[in-house]
Amino acid sequence: MRRRGRSLRLSAFKRKGAKLNWAIFEALAKNQPLTAYEIYKHVRKRAVHRRKLYSVINRRVRSLAENGYLRRAGQKRIKAGFEAPVYSLTPKAYLAILLSQLDLEKVLEKIDDAKALQLIGLLLEMSVS
């Protein structure tokens, strides 16, 4: 999952936590559902995040859940003897990934009039409410 040059810059992929958010989304897209510790283990496999602390990744996972990008998909018994929440991506997260990878110029080149009108209607409906 890599961003392209002319795509949308969504809040989940801006600022300081952008690379870590990408890594979390990537880990969950390939292996969901996962606990925060399992996400931590997957994220640390990438060289750029090798030194990230569990607390940083756990805080980021909770923040993404609060913002609606992740949801608790249940509980899982872990070795320590208690239950930890498992997380999965929401449709909002999949849409954010897709929108951040789309080149809007190419979309405008390929879209036909009927689909363009549907999209305009949907966007206008959302902007009114």
| Whether 25 contacts 1, CB under 8 Å | yes
pLDDT of residue 42: 95
pLDDT of residue 40: 95
For the chain, list residues with pLDDT below 70.
1-9, 11, 129
pLDDT of residue 3: 47
3-state secondary structure 75-113: EEECCCCCEEEEEEECHHHHHHHHHHHCCHHHHHHHCCH
pLDDT of residue 15: 75
What is the Rg, in whole angstroms, of the alpha carbon atoms belonging to the chain?
17
| Domains of the chain in sequence order | 11-102 (1.10.10.10)
Q: Within the chain, what is the greatest distance between any pair of CA atoms?
A: 58
d(CA 123, CA 125): 5
